[in-house]
Structure 1
Amino acid sequence: MNETFKKGDKVSVLDEAIDGVVLSVQGNQVSIESNEGFMMTFFVNEIIKINDASNLEFGTGSHHLNKVKQEKEIPKPRSFVKEKKSSKEIPVPEFDLHIEKLVKNFRQMSNYDILTLQTETAKRHIDFAIKNRIPKIVFIHGVGEGILKAELDFLMGRYDNIIFRDANYQKYGLGATEVLVKQNQK
């Protein structure tokens, strides 16, 4: 399909987001002024003629277009899927390992002492969960520089009977780890 272009035709460039108006036609080259005001030259096979919006409306039937516009303007009710929780469901124990939650006065503690206290606290909670068959616990460690998270990953990697992963992002963001305790079949 070889279209003929004339001065004033509205055109669109095929593989680029450029629209414009034909300024001149010389052989198989068409000079256009883009909607941004740039003068450009393209081959005839690189552009396509576009219709005016008025012609487009007439061709499709303006009554259909108006109906579609009205439907778009009517706000649709938003649906929210609420998470159903059974009344028997036990909430998951959460343990905040931020140092200010563990001790009142930590100002004179070294970074090593703080990290040791946090990992020992986590180890106690994991051991307690395993011993008492608690299926899931969550440690809130925060984002920070990732040192505590790395230390927790190392600690939990030494257990055979637990699985750990990032906790629910919507609830905790990036600063929490969920620990699942495998229940041994004896």
Structure 2
Amino acid sequence: MFSKGDKVTVLDEAINGVVVSTKDKEVTIETEDGFMMTFFVNELLKINNSSNLMDSIKRIDIDKVAKEKEIPKPRSFVKERKEKNEVSAPEFDLHIEKLVPNKNGMSNYDILTLQSETAKRHIEFAIRNRIPKIVFIHGVGEGILKAELDFLLGRYDNIAFQDANYQKYGLGATEVYIKQNSK
């Protein structure tokens, strides 16, 4: 892949040089500062020293560029049927990126606790305001948040829950039904 005299640059470092020798997957280069350094083949990138514009243009694959520019065909979806008077259920996204502006410095325990407390707050609000159905979007991931949410929902007597509509949410959401007591 590399041969003696090729100009190369090192990936992830600001080092350029010329190939002095190659052995198996290792390439020794002389840097612009005169140092001899050895790198693996996958750490180097050959620099094209051709300044001729026509040479560069000839290397462009026009078919590949045209394919990238193509507008993708819209996917067909089966539309979910709703009754005319049905109001869509409120959705609450429990992804941490939606709950806090910056999660840096938060441990996994802190994140899960915040997500659980947020879900609990929304459940309590729905019960108080007699909202019959809500949806929690938890994502697929490793299933830890879903398990925590299932545990939380199981502690309420007046709540039933199930996986939300697959066509609309995929596997990453839970539908919660709040049974209304006639007071």
TM-score range, shorter chain: 0.5 to 0.7
1:155 matched to 2:155? The reply is no
The equivalent of 2:179 in structure 1 is 182
After TM superposition, give the deviation of residue 108 of structure 1 in Å. 1.1
Count of aligned pairs: 106
After TM superposition, give the deviation of residue 114 of structure 1 in Å. 0.2
1:90 matched to 2:87? The reply is yes
The equivalent of 1:169 in structure 2 is 166
Q: Which blocks of at least 5 consecutive residues in structure 1 are unaligned?
A: 1-79
The equivalent of 1:18 in structure 2 is none
Rounded to whole Å, the distance in 2 between the matches of 1:96 and 1:81 is 22
- The alignment's C-alpha RMSD in Å is 1.5
Distance 1:85 1:157, change over 3 A: same
After TM superposition, give the deviation of residue 85 of structure 1 in Å. 3.3
1:137 matched to 2:149? The reply is no
Runs (4 or more) in structure 1 with deviation over 4 Å come to none
Q: TM-score, normalised by structure 1?
A: 0.55
| 1:156 aligned partner, one-letter code | L
Distance 1:106 1:184, change over 3 A: same
| 2:149 aligned partner, one-letter code | L
Instruction: Note the alpha carbon deviations across 1:63-109, whole angstroms, 9 max, x for none.
Output: xxxxxxxxxxxxxxxxx7872431x3222100000000000010210
Rounded to whole Å, the distance in 2 between the matches of 1:149 and 1:95 is 13
- Whose radius of gyration is greater, 1 or 2? 1
Q: Percent identity?
A: 78
Rounded to whole Å, the distance in 2 between the matches of 1:107 and 1:174 is 27
The equivalent of 1:128 in structure 2 is 125
